């Protein structure tokens, strides 16, 4: 392909190609330039380039039919994608209410007998204890005032229903009938991948999209459902076993492969569930999730929306038709899931865009010792060999970021559940936040309770022979990431 470049009257488009022009213009000279000569010979000293435009401009001074306004189109598109993606991430149930409400009847357990459901219902207090979060911005000021003044009964499941009506429960949408009764419920990405800043009170505050909700006990919540038969049938085990597995997860954990391979327990008897990761800081990262080989962010979004949230859509991955590795998925037909309506596929682009836009939260000033951290940084990139895999600033490998379990000195149970039988080099993010994000520890299953334990593990595994002082410096650097 050849495209010619000629002087331009209007500045904006000229700027867009400036990078290209700045080096190639001088070599070939105006006004015509072929892309093929771009890299010929040693470069003369750069001089001020003159603004130029793509050949699409029909004549000098007239706007190009193709390029005109394209920068603006990109900017508008980005803003729209961000907005749409945020909306999907926070509010879209993808039709999952047919499963959580329609089949499991989980909303009946939330409402309780008095409100037409079953059991005692879930009060706001109990919901907050189970790790559900409330979006303070969705609470009208008068109600907020009453809650602050202690005039709202937080022990009454009716209040939970009111909060659902206000769309204030993060990641859960309630559906109500004309009489105002809760008749169904669906879930969103935000359920597991958002928390709040607790600015109103613990569990109630401004949304923090992308921050893993490591307080949330999904298993215990699902186990409350009056009808677990769909899960019993899917997993092919009895109801007590389903309940035991769900209740074994605990807060901050979920098992996104259970309904693929049917493995609820590890060989050591502990739960097979993993920590819920954060969804921020993933731009530029190749393989996703704890175990490698599933795919990119958008692969995983389609996987989760279709097979975990039980939304309605289309999902295709022949690997899941392998009955030897993924017997549950093969039986359920997850390898070729084509629902009558598709409420997912059209939302994937913006959803991915929004996630990639989420930055890693920065360590608060004063939360680490800067002098020690700068010595620690040198260790991280040198003696301690961390940057061999955690390459800054992505803190994972640009390129293939997968490792055998033996590379990092741990067992391969979880790795073997993923298609690649590997672990992903976790892109290190927001390691300072020991209270919220890392309260259940580090690595896919939280096996290392603290960063100190991780450093000791690597010190031993890689025979680094770090001194106590070096370990302390490295720790301060990790806290700064
Ligand atoms: C019920 C809880 C839950 C819900 C709902 C959920 N996820 Fe996840 N998500 C997880 C868990 C657990 C993992 C880790 C899975 C693994 O590695 O096996 C994960 C992994 C991810 C990852 C990879 C993170 C990383 O560090 O590589 C992304 C991105 C993600 N989820 C986005 C989403 C989006 C978008 C949605 C909505 C379509 C969603 N999730 C819904 C629990 C959930
Ligand atoms: C051979 C590649 C490799 C090297 C070298 C390496 N890591 Fe890792 N790191 C990994 C992998 C893979 C994981 C994910 C393990 C898992 O999820 O179970 C990980 C996970 C971590 C985590 C947990 C992050 C989280 O959010 O749970 C931390 C912290 C970490 N590494 C720090 C370090 C430090 C510090 C060093 C140097 C002393 C280091 N790593 C060296 C591959 C490596």
For 11-56, how does the pLDDT look when each residue is reduced to its tens digit (9 = 90+)? 444 344 343 333 333 333 333 333 333 344 445 555 555 555 554 5
**Domain 370-480, CATH among 3.40.47.10, 1.10.600.10, 1.10.760.10, 3.10.150.10:** 1.10.760.10
Summarize pLDDT for 354-390 with one digit per residue, the tens.
Answer: 999 999 999 999 999 999 999 999 999 999 999 999 9
Domain span(s) for CATH 1.10.760.10 in the chain: 370-480
Give the three-state DSSP class for 176.
Answer: strand
Give the three-state DSSP class for 12.
Answer: helix
Please indicate whether residue 423, judged by its CB atom, sits closer than 6 Å to ligand 2.
yes
266 contacts: CB under 8 Å, gap ≥ 6: 272, 413
Please indicate whether residue 466, judged by its CB atom, sits closer than 6 Å to ligand 2.
no
What ligand has the least distance to the C-alpha of 254? 1
Task: Check pLDDT > 80 for residue 203.
Answer: yes
Region of poorest pLDDT, from 26-30, 309-313, 329-333, 338-342: 26-30
**From the CA of 193, how far away is ligand 1's center (Å)?**
7
Task: Check pLDDT > 50 for residue 286.
Answer: yes
Q: Both tokens of residue 365?
A: 């000033």
What ligand has the least distance to the C-alpha of 214? 1
Mean pLDDT of 59-72: 72
State which of 279, 294, 320, 428 you would mutate to test the pocket of ligand 1, scoring each by most atoms of that ligand within 8 A of its C-beta. 279
Contact 251, 131 (CB under 8 A): yes
Give the residue, by CA position, lying nearest to ligand 1 atom 10: 276
Summarize pLDDT for 103-114 with one digit per residue, the tens.
Answer: 999 999 999 999
Q: At what angle do helices 451-461 and 468-480 cross, to 10 degrees?
A: 130
Tell me, what's the pLDDT at 435? 86
State which of 276, 426, 429, 432 you would mutate to test the pocket of ligand 2, scoring each by most atoms of that ligand within 8 A of its C-beta. 426
What ligand has the least distance to the C-alpha of 379? 2
Please indicate whether residue 191, judged by its CB atom, sits closer than 6 Å to ligand 1.
yes
Burial label, 347 (beta-carbon count in 10 A; 0-12, 13-18, 19+): buried
Mean pLDDT of 242-250: 97
| Residue 60 banded pLDDT, cuts 50, 70, 90 | low
Count other C-beta atoms under 10 Å from residue 419's C-beta: 16
Cα 279 to its chain centre, rounded Å, is 2
Tell me, what's the pLDDT at 292? 81
| Residue 147 banded pLDDT, cuts 50, 70, 90 | very high
State which of 408, 448, 463 you would mutate to test the pocket of ligand 2, scoring each by most atoms of that ligand within 8 A of its C-beta. 408
> How far is Cα 167 from Cα 98, in angstroms, rounded to an integer?
18
State which of 425, 438, 470 you would mutate to test the pocket of ligand 2, scoring each by most atoms of that ligand within 8 A of its C-beta. 425
Tell me, what's the pLDDT at 114? 94
Mean pLDDT of 431-437: 93
Burial label, 155 (beta-carbon count in 10 A; 0-12, 13-18, 19+): exposed
**From the CA of 429, how far away is ligand 2's center (Å)?**
11
Pairing of strands 52-54, 134-135: unpaired
Mean pLDDT of 160-172: 97
Give the residue, by CA position, lying nearest to ligand 2 atom 34: 386
Q: Give the CA count within 13 Å in the CB-facing half-sphere of 330.
A: 10
Region of poorest pLDDT, from 25-34, 82-91, 160-169, 366-375: 25-34
Q: At what angle do helices 348-357 and 70-91 cross, to 10 degrees?
A: 90
Please indicate whether residue 277, judged by its CB atom, sits closer than 6 Å to ligand 1.
yes
Model pTM greater than 0.85?
yes
Please indicate whether residue 304, judged by its CB atom, sits closer than 6 Å to ligand 1.
yes
| Residue 285 banded pLDDT, cuts 50, 70, 90 | very high
Please indicate whether residue 350, judged by its CB atom, sits closer than 6 Å to ligand 1.
no
Please indicate whether residue 195, judged by its CB atom, sits closer than 6 Å to ligand 1.
no
Tell me, what's the pLDDT at 306? 98
Please indicate whether residue 110, judged by its CB atom, sits closer than 6 Å to ligand 2.
no
What ligand has the least distance to the C-alpha of 437? 2
Give the residue, by CA position, lying nearest to ligand 1 atom 23: 289
Please indicate whether residue 410, judged by its CB atom, sits closer than 6 Å to ligand 1.
no
Please indicate whether residue 403, judged by its CB atom, sits closer than 6 Å to ligand 2.
yes
Give the residue, by CA position, lying nearest to ligand 1 atom 37: 189
List C-alpha distances in Å: 104 to 96, 98, 110, 230, 231. Answer: 11, 9, 12, 7, 9
Mean pLDDT of 117-131: 97
Tell me, what's the pLDDT at 50? 54
Tell me, what's the pLDDT at 68? 72
CA angle 232, 236, 237 (to 5 degrees): 70
Whole-number mean pLDDT of the chain? 90
Please indicate whether residue 289, judged by its CB atom, sits closer than 6 Å to ligand 1.
yes
Contact 455, 462 (CB under 8 A): no
Mean pLDDT of 115-134: 97
Mean pLDDT of 433-456: 96
Tell me, what's the pLDDT at 61? 65
> How far is Cα 465 from Cα 302, in angstroms, rounded to an integer?
44
**From the CA of 426, how far away is ligand 2's center (Å)?**
6
CA angle 222, 238, 447 (to 5 degrees): 55
Task: Check pLDDT > 90 for residue 7.
Answer: no
Percent of the chain clearing pLDDT 70 (strictly above)? 86
Contact 274, 254 (CB under 8 A): yes
Q: Both tokens of residue 207?
A: 């949304």
What ligand has the least distance to the C-alpha of 186? 1
């Amino acid at each position: 392909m050849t495209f010619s470049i000629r002087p331009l009257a209007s500045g904006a488009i000229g700027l867009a190609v400036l990078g290209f022009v700045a080096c190639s213009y001088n070599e070939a000279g105006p006004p015509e330039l072929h892309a093929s000569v771009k890299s010929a010979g040693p470069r003369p000293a750069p001089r001020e380039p003159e603004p130029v435009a793509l050949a699409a401009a029909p004549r000098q001074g007239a706007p190009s039919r193709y390029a005109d306004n394209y920068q603006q189109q990109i900017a508008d598109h980005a803003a729209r994608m961000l907005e749409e993606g945020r909306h999907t991430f926070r509010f879209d149930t993808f039709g999952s209410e047919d499963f959580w409400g329609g089949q499991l009847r989980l909303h009946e357990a939330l409402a309780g007998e008095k409100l037409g459901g079953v059991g005692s219902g879930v009060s706001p207090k109990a919901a907050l204890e189970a790790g559900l979060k409330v979006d303070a911005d969705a609470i009208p000021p008068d109600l907020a005032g009453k809650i602050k003044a202690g005039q709202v009964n937080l022990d009454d499941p009716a209040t939970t229903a009111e909060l659902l009506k206000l769309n204030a429960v993060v990641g859960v949408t309630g559906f109500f009938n004309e009489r105002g009764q809760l008749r169904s419920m669906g879930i969103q990405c935000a359920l597991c991948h958002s928390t709040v800043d607790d600015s109103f009170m613990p569990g109630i505050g401004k949304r923090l999209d992308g921050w893993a909700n490591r307080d949330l006990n999904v298993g215990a919540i699902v186990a409350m459902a009056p009808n677990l038969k769909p899960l019993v049938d899917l997993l092919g085990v009895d109801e007590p076993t389903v309940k035991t597995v769900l209740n074994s997860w605990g807060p901050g954990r979920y098992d996104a492969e259970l309904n693929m391979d049917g493995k609820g327990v590890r060989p050591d008897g502990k739960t097979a569930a993993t920590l819920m990761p954060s969804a921020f800081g993933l731009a530029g990262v190749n393989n996703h999730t704890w175990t490698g080989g599933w795919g990119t962010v958008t692969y995983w979004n389609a996987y989760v929306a279709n097979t975990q949230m039980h939304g309605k859509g289309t999902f295709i991955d022949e690997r899941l038709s392998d009955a030897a590795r993924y017997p549950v998925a093969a039986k359920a037909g997850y390898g070729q899931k084509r629902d009558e309506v598709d409420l997912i596929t059209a939302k994937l682009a913006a959803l991915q865009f929004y996630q990639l836009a989420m930055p890693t939260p920065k360590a608060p000033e004063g939360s680490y010792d800067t002098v020690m951290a700068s010595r620690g940084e040198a260790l991280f990139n040198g003696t301690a060999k961390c940057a061999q895999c955690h390459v800054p600033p992505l803190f994972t490998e640009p390129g293939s970021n997968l490792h055998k379990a033996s590379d990092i000195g741990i067992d391969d149970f979880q790795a073997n559940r993923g298609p690649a039988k590997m672990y992903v080099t976790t892109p290190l993010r927001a390691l300072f936040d020991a209270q919220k994000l890392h309260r259940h520890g580090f690595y896919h299953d939280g096996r290392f309770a603290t960063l100190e334990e991780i450093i000791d593990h690597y010190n031993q595994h890689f025979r680094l022979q770090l001194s106590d002082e070096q370990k302390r410096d490295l720790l301060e650097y990790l806290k700064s990431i």
